[in-house]
Structure 1
């Protein structure tokens, strides 16, 4: 038995050591995900808290983001707001265009139209309520450059207004960033101070990296442009105002 153990130890000593793999750079790992027809699942909770609890608001979002060769090119996400005014909005960004479907617009839409094309958002990809675009490699690089370690593998830090503008945000914010085993973002939490006594926090979760994603535009015959929608509302107001002696439309509530 002793000779057998000695032989095993000798044999183990002769096996060449396998070099440890270098740590994956998160920025490089993110860029490698940018393959047409693939994407990521995204979910989010945004909270606005203020001195008056009745002004508190919670918005939850869930959906999918589709990548192209250099980043997000399309998204299909649903936002649900719970608070003083509950609402649900679905946003589809594809082909350089942005479409929205919302219950509070339904009464203004012509028969058969269920989507509004937001021409002023041309080229945008609506993916999140975060103040920063966590799917942009330069943003991840900036966050990591200003982050320290925190428990459970999270990094945390804060950016000044000048640093924040470099990530696409407009104001200073604090953050926590989590990376999965492939060095890809799986959790991002940001916090910002708003009006006196209010603060907003947004927590984003990312999963299903590399899954097949294909975002389609709404059927053309179900879409009206925002410009045409406004024109439709004005025309309707003018028709209704003909029956009002002073021509007032304020009491109709059409432009509240």
Structure 2
């Protein structure tokens, strides 16, 4: 604010101060998000993940559903998935419900040759809670980094890049060193209340003579604070993975496009 000249009267000073609007402090998105963590409420999510291989269209995966909050963050999810193209579609469920420390899935290979009357497979794995987005904006460390590391922040959209190594440190997890240098370019869009409208990420894995794969994930959030109830499927329709036996074709774990899964994947090498 400009200095007030000494000769101005007190009345003039008051008039100038009234006429000059104060600049509002930037909204802290981490604090804004934590205010949303109220049991029985949540947010709707929609996402599209696209992969191109050597410049050609590969797999497209869409995700739609709801996330339920508790005092500590996301504690439940009910999501539906659709895959087109690529080879991973058969390994992905068509629906996933996460409640507490359990995840229930159905569809595709997860619904084949189940015991009579069973429609869901239960995993003791809450980490597969939602989507293919490698940038978990519900992790306060990640959200803070997306804002602080941004190279530009015009009109509430923060753009920048982080490496896989950077993000794995934020998660407190290890990742394959050969993947650590890969950059994730991102765009985080916030509304006037500091809540997340969307987050977009893009990264390319270059495997040399085997070519390169680029993945773009666009995730949108709407209906912040909506009343949401997410329940586990009826118990008589659920089979624990441990009950399926050694001969089952149901996968031992649920694959996804998150950083956690990518961290367990070794980049292929030319033979």
The residue number in structure 2 matching 1:225 is 240
2:52 to 49, 54, 66: 49
Superposition map of 1:79-158 within 5 A: 79-84=81-86, 89-119=94-124, 121=125, 123-124=126-127, 126-149=129-152, 152-158=155-161
Q: Which runs of 5+ in 2 are unaligned?
A: 1-11, 250-271
Deviation at 1:195, TM superposition (A): 4.6
The residue number in structure 2 matching 1:215 is 230
2-structure distance, mates of 1:221, 1:232: 22
2-structure distance, mates of 1:20, 1:207: 28
Q: How many residues align structurally?
A: 221
* Correspondence 1:201 to 2:206: no
Report the CA distance shift for 1:16/1:165 in structure 2 as closer, same or farther (over 3 A): same
What is the aligned-residue RMSD (CA, Å)? 2.6
Deviation at 1:191, TM superposition (A): 1.1
* Correspondence 1:164 to 2:175: no
- Structure ID, larger Rg: 1
1-structure distance, mates of 2:104, 2:229: 16
Q: Which runs of 5+ in 1 are unaligned?
A: 1-9, 235-256
Q: Which has the higher helix share?
A: 1
Report the CA distance shift for 1:50/1:125 in structure 2 as closer, same or farther (over 3 A): closer
Q: Is the 8 A contact 2:142 2:167 kept in 1?
A: no
The residue number in structure 2 matching 1:247 is none
Q: Which stretch shifts more, 110-119 or 156-165?
A: 156-165
- Secondary structure in structure 2 of the residue aligned to 1:127: coil
Q: Which stretch shifts more, 217-226 or 159-168?
A: 159-168
Deviation at 1:194, TM superposition (A): 2.2
Deviation at 1:14, TM superposition (A): 10
1-structure distance, mates of 2:155, 2:69: 29
The residue number in structure 2 matching 1:252 is none
- Secondary structure in structure 2 of the residue aligned to 1:230: coil
Deviation at 1:115, TM superposition (A): 0.2
* Correspondence 1:26 to 2:29: yes
TM-score (norm 1): 0.77
TM-score (norm 2): 0.73
